[in-house]
Structure 1
C-alpha cells in the first residue's frame, strides 16, 4: 500500500519516468504468479511480504507443531512490485519476542529494495511452549514521492511436547534408607510409560503403584510419587534417580520434515549416610550367689549304757572302784591313777621289751616275752570308756564316780529330813 503526502504524484511525473514505470509494470505482470503490479502511483500491491516457518508457509506449522526446544527458522521474503525503489525496509514479528531479524548486509533492515526486485530476511530461535501466531509487518519509504509503503502476513507455530522433571529425597532410620522420587510433567502433552531407575535401589524395590517402577501416564502439570526401601551397611551412599518416558508425538523439523517422538529423561541425585550402630550396652552384673552355709557336723550319739554283767568279770579286767556313801560336807580326795594293766597290754608311752628280755631285774619265773606293739593291739572293751590302763580314769569315769558318791548322800539327806518331820 502506498500512502501519499500532498496531492497526486502523476502530475509531477515526467514523461520518461512514466514510460519506464509502465514498461517495468508490464514486464512484472507477465511473470507467472506475480499478480497485479504498480507503477509510480498509489497501489496496494507495491510491497509484498511472504513468511515461512521451517520452510512451511504461513500457519502450516501450527499442526502438529514444533517440539519445544527445537529450532524455529522464519524466512521473510520482501518483494517490491513497483518501479520505485523502497528505502529502509524493516520487518517486525511479535511472534518472536526478543529475537533479532537479520537482513542482507547484516542489519535488521533493508537499506534499499530496488523496484521490481526481492530479498529475504531471516530469524532463528528455539520453540517455546504454546501457540505463537501473529501478524508480521514490513514497511519502507519512497523519498521521491514522499510515501510510506506497508505490507503484512500472518504466520506462526505451536510449541508442543511433554517434559519430565525429577526430584529425589531420602530418609534414614538405622540401617534402612527410604528413597522417594517425585516426577512431574511441566510440558503440554501427556507423557507415557515413565520408568524410574536408580543404581542405589534394585528395580524390584521401586514402587510407583502396583509394585512396579513405572508410571503409566502423566498428564501436563501433574506429578507422581515413587519410593524404594533399601538396607545398607554403614557408609556414605549417593542415589542417582532417573525418569524415562515418551509423549509419542511427531513434530516438524528444521527443514519441514517430520521428526519422530523423542525419548524424555530427567535426573536427580541425593547423598545419604548410614551410621554405625551404637555399641551394645554392658550387661548388668548379676546378683552374687550367697555363700554356702557351713554344714554342721552331726551331733555325737549319746553313749550307750553299759551292758549288765551276767557274771564276774574275767581275770585281769579292771573293775570300777567301790564307793561308799559320803556324808554332806566331807571332801572326797581325787583318786590316784590305778596302774593295773591287763595281761599282755603295754601302757602307752612305755616301750615294749624285746623278745626274750626279762621284765624287771629278777627272774621272770617263766613269763613269756611281750610281743611287738602291732601284735599287742586288742579291741577296747566298754569299760575302757571309764578307765584306761596307764592313763587312769577318763572324764566319763570321773563323772560316774562323782555321781556314785553324791547319790547316796542325797538319799541319806532325804531320809533324815523325812524322819525329823
Structure 2
C-alpha cells in the first residue's frame, strides 16, 4: 500500500469514528413539520382548542443527511418549558417524532419552531424551522349576587327582599342565551328581570356584564339565595386527535344568606270610657298613694309573708316570728288609726295647714313614753326646755317679788 493511500484511509477512519457516515452533511439535510391536534396547517389555520383542555403537538424530524444527529431537540415558544420530548439520536436517512402535551390557555399562540441536531465528528449542527400553534377559545361565565332587604313596616308581617344577579363573560367568545335562576328562593321560570327579557340575557359579549333583578315578599326568617347561570359560546373545537368537540353548557353559581326581621307591632289606642279619669291622672294617683306609706304586696321585694294567728303577730315565709305591724299600716293616706292619738291630744288631720296645734298638758306628753329609752328622753327634754324656757324666766322673776311682798305684809301687821 502506498503512503498516499494509507493517509487517506486513516483520515476517513478518523472522520467516521463514532459518528457514522458523514458524507452529504449540510444545510437542508434536516426537515421539520408540525401538527397541532391533528391539523398540519396550523401556521395559517390554528385549530381552536377549548381553554383548559389538552393541546398535543407532534414534531416530525427527517434526517436526510449521511450522518447521525445527536442531542436532538425542539425549541417551541408556544409550549411550556420542558414539555417537548425528543429521542437522543436521529440516525442518518431516518425520521423521528418529538411530542409536547399541555393545557390550552386563552389566546392565539402561533410561533416559529426550531429543531436542532449535532454531528460531533464534523463539529456541525443541523437545524430546521417551521411555524405552528393553536387558538385557545372559551366563553367563561361568572355570577355574583347581592341582596337588599327592605325595612319592615308596622302592623306585623314580613318584608320584601331585592336580589341582584350580575352575570359576567370572562372569556374571549360571546355567550348566548344566558339564563338566570334561583332554586333557593323557588323563583318561577323567567322571574328575574334581565332588561325586559325575562330571566335570559340574549347575547353577552366578552369582558361584559349584565344585571338581572327580582323582588320577593318573604315572612320573617333566615333565607339562602342560590343563584344559577347557564349559557353557551356555541364554539366547536378540536380534540387531541383532531376530532370535533361540540360546545358544552357553561354554568356558574353564587349564593347569599340574608335575614328578614319581624315587623314592629303598632301599639293599640285606648279610648277612655265617659267620666273615667285619664290614664295619666290615675297613674299619678296610684304613684302618690304608693309613696304615702303603702304596704308592699305579698311576694314583692321587701314584702313580708304573714299568716294571722289571732294574737296580733305573725310569721314570715321561713316560719320566724314577724315584727308587729306599725300603727297605721294599711290605712288610707292621712287617716289616723284608732289608738294612735292619746286622750286629749289633737289629731294631725284636724289641724289646718299653717296652724300650730296647742301643746298638750305635761302629763299627757309623758304618757306612753316610759319605754322610749335614754336617747329618747334626752331629745324630749331638749324640746321641753325650749318650750318652757319663757315660763322658767318669769318664775325666776316673780318668785322673789312674791317673797318680798309677803315679808312686807307681815311687818305691817
Q: Give the alignment partner of residue 227 of structure 1, picking from 191, 205, 213.
A: 213
State how 1:5-404 maps to structure 2 within 5 Å. Answer: 14=12, 40-59=23-42, 62=45, 65-98=48-81, 100-103=83-86, 110-173=87-150, 174=152, 175-199=159-183, 200=185, 201-210=187-196, 212-278=198-264, 280-287=265-272, 289-290=274-275
The alignment's TM-score, normalised by the length of structure 2, stands at 0.57
The 3 A distance-change label for structure 1 pair 256 and 291 is closer
Question: Aligned-pair distance for 1:288?
Answer: 5.3
Which residue in 2 is equivalent to 1:331? Answer: none
Which residue in 2 is equivalent to 1:107? Answer: none
Equivalent pairs, count:
259
Contact preservation (8 Å) 2:25, 2:67: no
Question: Aligned-pair distance for 1:181?
Answer: 0.6
Question: Aligned-pair distance for 1:63?
Answer: 5.1
Measured against aligned partners, the alpha-carbon deviations of 1:270-318 in whole angstroms (never above 9, x if no partner) come to 111222223x2433443453269xxxxxxxxxxxxxxxxxxxxxxxxxx
Distance 1:150 1:157 in 2: 23
Contact preservation (8 Å) 1:99, 1:125: no
Measured against aligned partners, the alpha-carbon deviations of 1:190-223 in whole angstroms (never above 9, x if no partner) come to 1111111111132243110225001111111111
Distance 1:128 1:159 in 2: 5
Which residue in 1 is equivalent to 2:343? Answer: none
The 3 A distance-change label for structure 1 pair 88 and 183 is same
Contact preservation (8 Å) 2:24, 2:66: no
Contact preservation (8 Å) 1:53, 1:61: no
Measured against aligned partners, the alpha-carbon deviations of 1:109-137 in whole angstroms (never above 9, x if no partner) come to x3222222222221111221111000111
Distance 1:112 1:228 in 2: 67
Question: Aligned-pair distance for 1:97?
Answer: 3.3
**SS of residue paired to 2:80:** coil
The runs of at least 4 aligned residues of structure 1 exceeding 4 Å deviation read 10-13, 15-18
Distance 2:271 2:144 in 1: 54
Question: Aligned-pair distance for 1:241?
Answer: 1.1
**SS of residue paired to 2:98:** strand
Distance 2:269 2:44 in 1: 82
Distance 2:52 2:75 in 1: 22
Question: Aligned-pair distance for 1:251?
Answer: 1.5
Distance 1:291 1:53 in 2: 99
User: Any gaps of 5 or more consecutive residues in structure 1?
Assistant: 1-9, 25-38, 104-109, 293-421
The 3 A distance-change label for structure 1 pair 15 and 285 is closer
Question: Aligned-pair distance for 1:60?
Answer: 6.2
Distance 2:94 2:47 in 1: 34
Distance 2:160 2:276 in 1: 49
Which protein shows a greater Rg?
1
Contact preservation (8 Å) 2:109, 2:133: yes
- Structure with higher helix content: 2
Contact preservation (8 Å) 2:176, 2:201: yes
User: Any gaps of 5 or more consecutive residues in structure 2?
Assistant: 1-7, 153-158, 278-413
Distance 1:154 1:60 in 2: 5
Contact preservation (8 Å) 1:72, 1:125: yes
Distance 2:276 2:194 in 1: 67
**SS of residue paired to 1:14:** helix
Measured against aligned partners, the alpha-carbon deviations of 1:163-195 in whole angstroms (never above 9, x if no partner) come to 211111111113211111111111111111111
Task: Quote the RMSD (CA, aligned, Å).
Answer: 2.8
